[in-house]
Amino acid sequence: MTSAPKKLFIKTYGCQMNVYDSERMAEAMGGEGYVQTDRAEDADMVLLNTCHIREKAAEKLYSDLGRLKALKLDNPNLKIGVTGCVAQAEGDEIIRRMPVVDLVVGPQSYHRLPAMERAVQAGGRVVDTDFPEEDKFDILAARSKAKRGPTAFLTVQEGCDKFCAFCVVPYTRGSEVSRPADRIVTEARGLVEAGVRDITLLGQNVNAYHGAEGGLAGLVGQLAAIDGLDRIRYTTSHPNDMDDALIAAHGNEPKLMPYLHLPVQSGSDKILKAMNRKHTAEQYLRLIERIRAARPDILLTSDFIVGFPGETDADFDATMALVEAVGYGAAYSFKYSARPGTPAAERAEVDAEVMDARLQTLQALITRQQRERQDAMVGQTTTVLFEKPGRNPGQWGGKSEHLHAVHAMSDEDLRGQIRKVRVTATAPNSLTAELIG
């Protein structure tokens, strides 16, 4: 008699790389006989794949662990693991503070999860926050061949050597490492065979990728040669790593989508310097001009931090002016959050109410720009990769080339199809369109 498979519940916080890592962890645990469940109550093991980027994100781990304590009382065999960037930053402390946790493993060593699971089943509590010599991707189980949806993430680069003064990433994810291009191409081929048509290449500093001749542009070229892979995107980029070849690729490579997330964080030169960003607002604006010269319709997005230590009203006004000058299709803005171990954490903080007010002002401008960009799409034709049925009968949802969420009506099963559409209307966060091809 074979026993029922053990069940694994993974909760993913934070960025897209965590989404990718969670998939790989689930595949690794598949080799240990685990199948995934979407209910923590049914699980034999729960993994919390955490984010450390801002204090609020990190705190979520502790409130979730509080809730899991009750589950463990009902099911003493339940094993609980903490993975991701909080695991890396607070490894031993988590084990010390939280008796409910059985294992802690950082983002660079989760290929060791199967061995750790066995140690835990034998009654141990284990922590692994190494930055190992070996490459986890070489050791992890081969990717599942199971049929999957039409979009996927693919990590090509990890870590960061930039040391922006506010950021924990260089500490939690380590220094910059690029995966070899041949492995990435093999993985991409496998994804395409499983039904993927749109791949987003991931890296904390993805355009610093140096695992292929010609850098990220070279890798994009190799991937574009894969039949059946129709759309390529990449995120997140640093302005100082936008080289000529990559800018040119936005003009020359039809599979490279007209969408670019290029965080600038602030529009004030004084603050950019204090952040250790190593470029000015003017240099960023000139860069945007060159990217738009290569691909005029490109949709640009950014991240902003308001209330960085030392930010005055005039500095904030400079950020507003930069946003006005660029015209973003969307952007994320955050209140500065002091992170332990980062240089900026030592500096005097801006008043909380001032931060709140600035965040609201900036978000109102960004929302207006997002609406303007969407409104400008009405009447235009574009293509949409449809992913799944919408909420209403006959409705399908997918993404445009510019990564707008799009809905269209059709009696056909549009899943996985790329279809020509005309945009007919906009809503706050999506477009409505009709099929025209």
Annotated binding site: 15, 51, 85, 160, 164, 167
Q: Does 32 bind ligand 5AD (CB under 6 A)?
A: no
The single-letter code of the amino acid at 73 is: L
Q: Pick what 337 binds: ligand SF4, ligand 5AD, none; C-beta below 5 to 8 Å, kind-dependent.
A: ligand 5AD
Structure letter (DSSP) for residue 107: T
What is the smallest separation between the CB atom of 164 and ligand SF4, expressed in angstroms? 3
Coil, helix or strand at residue 355:
helix
The number of CA neighbours under 13 Å toward the Cβ of 406 is 32
Residue 133, Cβ neighbours under 10 Å: how many?
Answer: 5
Q: What CA–CA distance (Å, rounded) separates 33 from 427?
A: 44
In the block, residue with structure tokens 């890798």: 219
What is the smallest separation between the CB atom of 166 and ligand SF4, expressed in angstroms? 7
Question: Roughly how many angstroms between the first and final C-alpha of the chain, as a whole number?
Answer: 53
In sequence order, what DSSP letters do the residues of 41-85 get, joined into one string?
GG-SEEEEEE--SSHHHHHHHHHHHHHHHHHHHH-TT-EEEEEHH
Q: Pick what 336 binds: ligand 5AD, ligand SF4, none; C-beta below 5 to 8 Å, kind-dependent.
A: ligand 5AD
Q: Does 334 bind ligand 5AD (CB under 6 A)?
A: yes
Identify which of residues 7 and 339 has a Cβ nearer to ligand 5AD in the complex.
Answer: 339
Residues 205-224 that bind ligand SF4 (CB under 6 A): 205
Question: Which contiguous run of DSSP H or E holds residue 202?
Answer: strand 198-202
Q: Does 162 bind ligand SF4 (CB under 6 A)?
A: yes
Q: What CA–CA distance (Å, rounded) separates 286 from 429?
A: 29
Interacting residues of 309 by C-beta distance below 8 A, sequence separation 6+: 274, 336, 344, 347, 348, 349, 350
Applying CB under 6 A, the span of 193-201, 336-344, 382-390, 419-427 interacting with ligand 5AD comes to 336-344
What is the smallest separation between the CB atom of 64 and ligand 5AD, expressed in angstroms? 21
Number of residues assigned to the chain: 437
Q: What CA–CA distance (Å, rounded) separates 296 from 289?
A: 9
Strand partners of residue 80: 46
The pair of structure tokens assigned to 164 is 């922006």
Contact with ligand 5AD (CB under 6 A) among 82, 120, 152, 167:
167
Contact with ligand SF4 (CB under 6 A) among 98, 127, 160, 192:
160
Q: Does 170 bind ligand SF4 (CB under 6 A)?
A: yes
Q: Does 164 bind ligand SF4 (CB under 6 A)?
A: yes
Q: Pick what 339 binds: ligand SF4, ligand 5AD, none; C-beta below 5 to 8 Å, kind-dependent.
A: ligand 5AD
Number of residues counted as binding ligand SF4 (CB under 6 A):
10
Q: Which residues are annotated as a binding site for [4Fe-4S] cluster?
A: 15, 51, 85, 160, 164, 167
Q: Does 51 bind ligand 5AD (CB under 6 A)?
A: no
Q: What CA–CA distance (Å, rounded) separates 322 from 281?
A: 7
Contact with ligand 5AD (CB under 6 A) among 37, 172, 319, 337:
337
Assign residue 68 a region (left: φ > 0; alpha: ψ between -120 and 50; beta: otherwise): alpha
Q: Pick what 53 binds: ligand SF4, ligand 5AD, none; C-beta below 5 to 8 Å, kind-dependent.
A: ligand 5AD
Coil, helix or strand at residue 306:
strand
Identify which of residues 337 and 400 has a Cβ nearer to ligand SF4 in the complex.
Answer: 337
The pair of structure tokens assigned to 277 is 């960003």
Question: What binding mask, one character per residue, do residues 52-91 give for ligand 5AD by CB under 6 A, x or -?
Answer: -xx-------------------------------------
The single-letter code of the amino acid at 85 is: C
Residues that bind ligand 5AD (CB under 6 A): 53-54, 166-167, 263, 265, 303, 305, 334, 336-337, 339
Residues that bind ligand SF4 (CB under 6 A): 160, 162-164, 167, 169-170, 204-205, 238
